Structure 1
Amino acid sequence: MKSFSHVLAAALLCAACSSSDKTDTPPPSTDTQFGKIEQDYVVYFLSRNPVVATYLGGSALDSSLAKIDGRLRDHSAAAIAEEDGKLAEFKRQIQALPREKLSPARQTDRDVALAQIEFQLHLHQVRKYQQRALDSYLDEPFRGVDWQLQGMSEAGGGKYGTEAEWQRIIERLDAVGPYLGAAREQLRAGVANGNTPDWRMLRRNGINTAKADADYFDKELPKIADERLGGPQREALLDGVRKASASASAAYRALHQFIAETFFDDATKPEVDRSGLKPAFRDDHFAMGEAEYNWALQNNLRLTKTAAQLYDESWAVVQATQEEMIAVARTIGQERGLTLPADGMAAVRAVFDELSKNAPKSDDEMIGWYRDAGERLVKYARDTGLFDMPAEYKLEVTITPPPLQGSISGAAYYPAPPFKDSGVGRFYVTPTNNDPASLAENNRSSLAYLAAHEGFPGHDWHYKIMTQYRDQITRVRWLTPGAVEDSSSMWEDSAAAEGWGLYAEALMAEPQSSAPKGFYKSDERLYQLQGKLLRDVRVRVDTGIHIGRLTFDEAVDVFSQAVHFLPGACKGATDAAKVQSCAVSVSNMFRYSKWPTQAITYRLGKEAILELRSDAEKKLGTKFSAKAFHIQFMKQGTIPPGYFREQLLANLEAGK
């Protein structure tokens, strides 16, 4: 047996060792501390926003999110209050970490996380937008199921989806009833507080979309399941989808009835006649207001200019682009031996009319033209050395699958979920069912700039590069607070993604040493400039309608006159071209009215990239590489350039 003195000595020695071990173990770095908070925040955010989680592939990110695709967001007042408390705690934890003790990249992540949290708290507590988010409530379940269908595993023999994937769809469909029930309670609170949707949203979303969604879940989704389901559990799963779809359809019809009874005297009256609504809900109620718009510019988009400044500066930009178009139209007139009107706007319109004659005769020909444009864009980039492109890269143009055709008009890009290892981004083109009028809108000259925006070097290339460097892009930079794409969205990601898309269009017009006129032919250049003009005008009308400088109808007139080169007011228009232009203008203005600040992200995002590139050229001089700049920009993720300007310049200077 050991003596007491031996035991005591050993104990003291052990205590000393323990004390030494504790002293020698350094505390976690500030970066490490932030990383833990960021991970917890991202997982919590995705758990509260299941459809955003589906879009990002959140089920692969953390074991707690394994069944997230079977859920919908809880919009109840109690759940939002609990969420706000949790967000406030994350804000406190992040702010407790001194910014200056973080690495430069983590300083950016800290700024991003705080801006996201501020947005969510502001949306709930200041704007109380949950009381009027009608389009969000209607779109979210449909969009969630839509993305699930898009991302299903191939099962062979033309079948799609594992048993687990179909089970998640059934679970999400079962959640639609309670989800829309919470939506009704929030909308009732909005009525009580005078915080209600604009009458156009009540009509277009509350009546029209609710009915369309009810029909989709009642008829279309069971049909899709019948076509796609296979395997030994086919019949049981198909029965589950049918029952859950019927329940979801009934929930949408109940919401439709609630909207009709709450806000309308007669919901069957046409949209142009506001008399169908109850008097309390007939006024315009879409404007965000100047103070709120400025808050969103600063917090959400990281911009320093005010809405009034953007509005005042916008018209000179519009006019400059119009002058460019007039000059290109006259060049085309000379090339083609056309006699054009002396008036510049009429000359542009005449050239558009001439180019529209070269329309595809069928959907197959239209898809072929898109593919040809994509191949030419990729070849041009290789020939000019614009990008270092893998030999295997090819821009795939895919016909929009039937289940998605109802939600994709024309061309669109669907990125692969970044948090998943599986999945491929798709550049979709929706067929017209060989409709002559729709085919006429896709003449050959008009497709190149769209292929550049949605495909290469736009969204397809952008998301493929970001996926390649996914491990270097922190997860907080992928989030889309509020929603992915509706009136509840923050639009933080849009400034990066759509800014890059418009930059890609413009990049292909820039002279290169081996291509002094850039990529586009003169006729394609005219349409590329019209695409630029559209985004230029958006800054004018979006700021205008939301800060009270333009009425809705005045903005419709501005859009028709400026984008389509058709003078005159829309009210009382009888000319067929003007009537069509005005219908398009109304549709666009409705989108801008419910999505404040989204429309401006294209032009302002592009200009931020150009300004940043110019600063890099000045800073680096002969060492500047456009290829390195583009890679560094895309490696920053889907956040506005205002977050990372100095860090990007420092990375380039360091040769990273």
Structure 2
Amino acid sequence: MAAAACGPSGPATPPGGRDAAALAQTLSAYAVEFLRRNPTTNTYLGGAGLDPSLREVDGMLRDHSAASIEQEDRWLADVSKVLAETPTASLSAGARIDRDVALAQIRFLLRQHQVRKYQERALDTYVSEPFRALDWQLQGMTETGPGAYGTADEWTLLVRRVNAIPTFLAIAQDQLEAGVKANRTPDRRMLQRDGLNTSEANARYFAETLPKLASERASGPDRDRIVGQVRDAGTQAAGAYTKFREFVATTFFDNTSQGKVKEAFASDRYAMGQEEYNWALKNNFHLTQTAPDLYEQAWPIVEATRTSMIDLAREIGRRQGWLLPPDGPSDVRFVFDELSKDSPKSDEEMVAWYREAAFRLVDYARKTGMFEVPADYQLEVTETPPPLQASIDGAAYYPAPPFKTTGVGRFYVTPTHNDRAALQSNNRAALADLSAHEGFPGHDWYYKVLTGSRGGISPVRWLTPGAVEDSSSMWEDSMPAEGWGLYAEALMAEPQPGSPGGFYTPEEHIYQLQGQLYRDLRVRIDTGIHTGRMTYDEAVDLFSEIVDFLPGSCGSAAAKKLDAKRASCEAAERAIFRYSKWPTQAITYRLGKDQIFAMRQEAATLLGPKFSPKNFHLAFIRQGTIPSGYFRDELLRELQTP
């Protein structure tokens, strides 16, 4: 379905007759209305490029009020009824997939609103959504001159959105107060980090950073007016965030300076629960396994990866002439400690090293012919902005809006604030695999190929129900996208013509295996903490011990005395915090990667000497950001078609 044909009037009649045409019109209208009701997602995807009527939505924020959600649920139920009653016999395989995807999205949203009532505790959504909307809006602005961005109309929409923040946060407060009355409140860690810390960071951003950006980027005869309007709107937004922070502080805390949560809210409240987790696996990811299945299956996989790391550590030790300890885990730790000596001296140098590693990967792919990389391919690596630092541990990638022709994707690297131990964790050997994941051939390449193919991908396959990236998210898109990112890391370790050892040096390869290890461990931890099989603190200890090969409890006095263990425990705790508030997202990396490898092997077996990894990769990416359980059979059929 061509993206240009997805306005309210619906696309041209597709093959398959009346049923197919009716379905196409229903899905087109659903996608447009979805984006109208979710302005941040609309900006993220560049909705105006899909339907011009969505342009004004970039001046809005989502209405999370109880009345609006009730009305939305009626609309979703109506669409679901139409889709469920659509005959499927005459539909193409792609159309049937699109229908099934939309039905799963609607089931998720209705369950989120009516069963989980998550809108009454979605604190991180409320705190982060306006900033994310503005950040993506700034990324997508038109270049109007050297160093200048944003037309007068684009800046007007941005100002309108910033002006909407006080009302947005007032509604958020209403929802959270309803949650307090129903004993449905955020976890104490989210209260501190998102409710207090991120609110404070956002207040500074809107009071200081955004006006400065407007002053630097706005141009033309309207510049002074724009800068003044951004400053005034930013001041109001900053005040609203300060007021919202005060609400969180007085409602949930006895003493904010000491982080002392009131007794009524002090217990752990992060666990999703086994019933909801299993429901999400089936509905959101199209999986047949249950949380207990995944929990039990994960441990042998973790142990196998650790064994590979021990073997490689011994090989590195022999090559370097190092005298290694007698036991395997200590061998790995010894190698890590030695490699950490070649580390950046500052955050600025760390970001530069990531940028250098990313472009080494691009050059390697060109030389080996793994991918057809255009001569004008660009990759932007930059420091994570402060309001996103609470959610991005290490690095992350934010793509350009796929429905628009402007904007750039960004590979964000989160600063360590020049912490020596954290910089050592980002040593020279440690950067390559993360650069492969977030940059090339991982997320940046994935989204550039995907965006280039957008005309053949139904808009339904781009939607991110719940939120783009916070605790309200469905995470439907994470299975293919993060699966591809982890697959890309492993792919660069495979032999290529003229490079029998793959891209990585042995020293880089051991960090690639470590990256694989913690994605393997995530399946164990995420299913564990959300089904009561593991406590939060047990997960932190396990992460540090298994991933960093540093035994001992993170709560012990000894852990605070060793720089490496302290840094490991801090990183582990940040990781577990993320998993605690984003249930099911952490498992998508390994499960998604495994699905890609399995499909590649099936395709190679079916096609024999005609199999082309390059063609397989393109065909996979062009299916869109939906779990491969929907399209596996169709992809294999497509690859066999001459």
Asked if 2 retains the 8 angstrom alpha-carbon contact of 1:374 and 1:395, the reply is no
Equivalence for 2:65:
76
Structure 1 unaligned regions, length at least 5? 1-25, 271-275
Select 1:218's aligned residue among 199, 207, 219.
207
Counterpart CA distance in 2 for 1:401 and 1:547 is 32
Q: How many residues in Structure 1 have an aligned counterpart in Structure 2?
A: 624
Quote how far apart the aligned CAs of 1:258 are: 1.4
- Are the equivalent residues in 1 in contact too, given 2:393–2:574 (CA < 8 A)? no
- Decide whether aligned partners of structure 1 residues 183 and 647 sit closer, same or farther in structure 2, where only a CA change above 3 A counts: same
Contact 1:395-1:456 at 8 Å conserved across structures:
no
Contact kept in structure 1, 2:202 and 2:387, CA below 8 Å: no
Superposed CA offset, 1:264-317 (max 9, x none): 2222223xxxxx222211111110000100000111111111000100111111
Q: Does 1:252 align with 2:235?
A: no
Distance in 2, matches of 1:77 and 1:449, equals 44
Aligned to 1:280: 264
Match of 1:396 among 357, 360, 379: 379
Secondary structure in structure 2 of the residue aligned to 1:516:
coil
Q: Distance in 1 between matches of 2:172 and 2:483?
A: 33
Aligned equivalents of 1:98 and 1:573: distance in 2?
65
Q: Does 1:643 align with 2:626?
A: no
CA contact (8 A) 2:39 2:60 kept: yes
The higher radius of gyration belongs to 1
Alpha carbons of structure 1 residues 560 and 432: separation in structure 2 relative to 1, 3 Å:
closer
Separation in 2, partners of 1:328, 1:583 = 26
1:367 and 1:202, CA in 2 relative to 1: closer, same or farther beyond 3 A?
closer
- Out of 95, 103, 113, the position equivalent to 1:114 is 103
Distance 1:563 1:430 in 2: 20
Measured on the aligned residues, the alpha-carbon RMSD in Å equals: 2.1
Q: Which residue of the partner structure matches residue 64 of structure 1?
A: 53
In the other structure, the counterpart of 2:197 is 208
Q: 474, 484, 506: which is aligned to 1:522?
A: 506
Tell me how far apart the structure 2 counterparts of residues 244 and 261 of structure 1 sit (CA, whole Å): 26
Aligned partner (choices 514, 522, 545) of residue 538 of structure 1: 522
> C-alpha distance in 1, partners of 2:345/2:248?
43
Question: Which residue matches 1:37?
Answer: 26
1:466 correspondence with 2:421:
no
User: Residue type matched to 1:29 in 2?
Assistant: R
Matched residue SS, 1:565? coil
CA drift of 1:232 comes to 1.3
Relative to structure 1, is the Cα distance of residues 363 and 280 closer, same or farther in structure 2, using a 3 angstrom cutoff? Answer: closer
Shift in CA distance, 230/406, structure 1 to aligned 2, threshold 3 Å:
farther
For residues 403 and 563 of structure 1, the distance between their equivalents in structure 2, rounded to whole angstroms, comes to 27
Query: 2:550: which partner in 1?
Result: 566
The 1:209/1:398 distance shift into structure 2, 3 A limit, reads: closer
Cα distance change of structure 1 residues 196 and 114 upon mapping to structure 2, 3 Å threshold: same
Summarize the alignment of residues 21-32 of structure 1 with structure 2, pairs less than 5 Å apart.
Answer: 28-32=17-21
> 1: distance between equivalents of 2:461 and 2:486?
21
1:127 and 2:111 correspond: no
**Corresponding residue of 1:653:** 640
Q: In the alignment, is the contact (CA less than 8 A) between 1:70 and 1:169 conserved in 2?
A: yes
Output the TM-score relative to the length of structure 2. Answer: 0.93
Task: Give, in whole Å, the separation in 2 of the partners of 1:159 and 1:435.
Answer: 34
Q: Which amino acid aligns with 2:379?
A: E
Match of 1:630 in 2: 617
| Match of residue 447, structure 1, among 412, 431, 441 | 431
Superposition TM-score, scaled by structure 1 size? 0.91
Give the letter for the 2:43 counterpart: T
Residues 610-643 of structure 1: CA deviation (Å, up to 9, x unaligned): 1111121222223322122111101101111111
2:313 counterpart of 1:352: no
Question: Quick check: 2:544–2:550 contact (8 Å CA) kept in 1?
Answer: yes
- Residue by residue over 1:31-71, the C-alpha shift from the partner in whole angstroms, topping out at 9 and shown as x without a partner, is 21111011100010000100010000012221321211110
Instruction: Give the deviation of 1:406 after TM superposition.
Output: 5.7
- What's the counterpart of residue 577 of structure 2? 590
| Counterparts of 1:185 and 1:453, CA distance in 2 | 40
2:629 partner SS: helix
In structure 2, the residue matched to 1:148 is 137
Change (3 A) 1:539 1:268: same
CA pair 258-320 structure 1, distance change in 2 beyond 3 A: same
AA at the equivalent of 1:602: Y
Structure-2 separation of matches of 1:55 and 1:126: 27
- Separation in 1, partners of 2:455, 2:148: 32
The aligned amino acid for 1:489 is S
CA distance in 1, matches of 2:540, 2:384: 33
1:617 counterpart residue number: 604
Q: Is the 8 A contact 2:475 2:584 kept in 1?
A: yes
